[in-house]
Amino acid sequence: MQFGDSSIMLLGIALSLGLLIGVERGFKYRDQKDGARVSGLRTYGLTSLLGAVSAMLAEQLGSFLLGVFFIGLAIALTASYVVNSTREHSSLTSLIASLLAFCFGAMVMVGYVVEAASLSVITTLLLSLKGELHRWLWLIEKKELWAALELLIMSVVILSVIPDEDMGPWNALNPYEIWWMVVLISSISFVSYFAMKFAGARKGIMGTALFAGLASSTALTLQFSKMAKQVPAAAPLLAAGVLFACGTMYPRVLLVASVINPEILSLLAIPTLTMAVVTYIPALWLWYRGTRMVPENVPPPASPLSLWSALGFGALLTGILLLSSGLQATLGDAGVLILAAASGVADVDPINLSLSGMSREGLALETAVLGIVIAAAVNGLLKAGMTGAIGGQEMFKRATLPLVISSTVGLALAIAV
């Protein structure tokens, strides 16, 4: 590396990254007197600059020199930590942050500028979120910890050993893709669960309904319909919650399908987003009318996820893939649409994932879009019947009719497209 304008710029970037971390650390301990702080704004900036200079010298004098500087810094910081360990503001976190600042400075000089900048921002964010992270840790229950471990096993362990190749009848099954889809749906449920919990879902039906639309709008429809029967005065607000959850399902269907096959976005967007709008409009009106009748203590789902339910989803998806390929081979596109209607009674996600994947391998985009919309419409009609049968007349007028209209409009648009 020749010392010049580019080196000066890189040194400036390295210094800036250290100062970024130093701002957070200095702000946290800003009430301490000068000399009482173990490290602050200038220290982190100089530490990062030290890493950059060490990397420059190491390139000219030998890579071992960078390790010598790092070890020397680590020893100095450790000694300072031990000496000041009785102080309230002395922490192992600050020591590690200083070592990271040194590494980020060195990364900049060896060409990893973007990576170093990104990691510096992430480090600063984690340092600033100490209170929130500790509060969340106290709020986590044992079942939620197990759910996180299950999700990690599903995504990190199992996914890494599953074969990525087509097999089975009609070469319809790819174990890797099937399990990846299981992980995708499980992750959505996991994230929505904690979003409901930490955002305070029990304080309002709206947040619960929107998040439940990502996890299980059918379960929320059943729960809110029962509550409407028990508390008729709250029916307008509960109906709004049902419509919000059901309306959220349609953008979710569009998002998942687009992730599997981006080419399907342009055709599927019109019917699904229209169904969402037709559902959201009466939901907003009902929400405006019923904001003073919010039931208390609306709980999140009983569990973030279950490994057995995920395996059941995988089995259902496998069956749908086999049936889809078999019906397409024997009956053509008509068989796929029949299966889509039958699948919508149980769940939209498996047939959505199946048809989106098949559209990449020969199934016409128009047929895939029509099948996905048919499944979503049938699922919407099922929930419409549920609200009317369980929730009674008040829910029938407020939730059942909008869901029926939404499904009908979506089907008409899908056929037209």
Q: How many domains would you assign to the chain?
A: 2
Do 69 and 200 belong to one domain? no
pLDDT at 201: 44
Rounded Cα gap, residues 28 and 39, in angstroms: 11
Task: Assess whether 147 and 96 both reside in one domain.
Answer: no
Q: What is the pLDDT of residue 207?
A: 67
Give the three-state DSSP class for 167.
strand
Q: Are residues 157 and 126 in the same domain?
A: no
By the 8 A CB rule, do 186 and 154 touch? yes
Q: Which residues of the chain have pLDDT under 70?
A: 1-5, 28-40, 84-91, 132-134, 136-137, 139, 170-172, 184-185, 188-189, 191-208, 210-216, 219, 230-231, 233, 290-310, 313, 317, 320-321, 324-336, 343-347, 417
CB 59 within 8 A of CB 28: no
Which residue has tokens 């498996």? 350
118 and 15 in a common domain? yes
Same domain, 395 and 309: yes
Cα separation, 161 vs 153, in Å, equals: 11
Nearest residue to 381 (alpha-carbon basis) of 188, 264, 249: 249
Residues 387 and 240 in one domain: yes
- 377, burial (CB in 10 Å: exposed 0-12, middle 13-18, buried 19+): buried
pLDDT digits (tens, 9 = 90+) for 188-221: 667 656 665 665 544 556 666 766 666 667 767 7
Tell if the pTM clears 0.85, that is, is over it: no
Residue 191 is predicted with a pLDDT of 66
DSSP one-letter code for 37: -
Residues 130 and 180 in one domain: no
- Among 135, 162, 181, identify where a domain stops: 135
Other residues' Cβ atoms within 10 Å of the Cβ of residue 126:
13
- Are 211 and 260 in the same domain? yes
Which tokens in the block code for residue 191?
């994230």
Whole-angstrom CA distances from 297 to 204, 221, 359 are 9, 17, 43
pLDDT of residue 281: 92
| Chain-centre distance for alpha carbon 21 | 27
The H or E element spanning position 86 is none
> Are 191 and 80 in the same domain?
no
Do residues 66 and 108 both lie within one domain? Answer: yes
The answer to whether the CB of 25 falls within 8 A of the CB of 97 is: yes
* Domain end marker among 135, 152, 172: 135
* Rg of the chain on CA atoms, in Å: 28
CA distance 74 to 93: 13
Q: What share of the chain is helix, strand, coil (3-state, %, to 5)?
A: 80, 0, 15
Domain limit, last residue, from 89, 113, 135: 135
Is 272 in the same domain as 335? yes
Q: Check if the beta carbon of residue 333 is closer than 8 Å to that of residue 368.
A: no
- Structural domain span for residue 338: 140-416
| Residue 51 CB-half CA count within 13 A | 29
Same domain, 222 and 115: no
| Cα(281)–Cα(271) distance, integer angstroms | 16
**φ and ψ at residue 167, rounded to 5 degrees:** -155, 175
Helix (H, G, I), strand (E, B) or coil at 34: coil
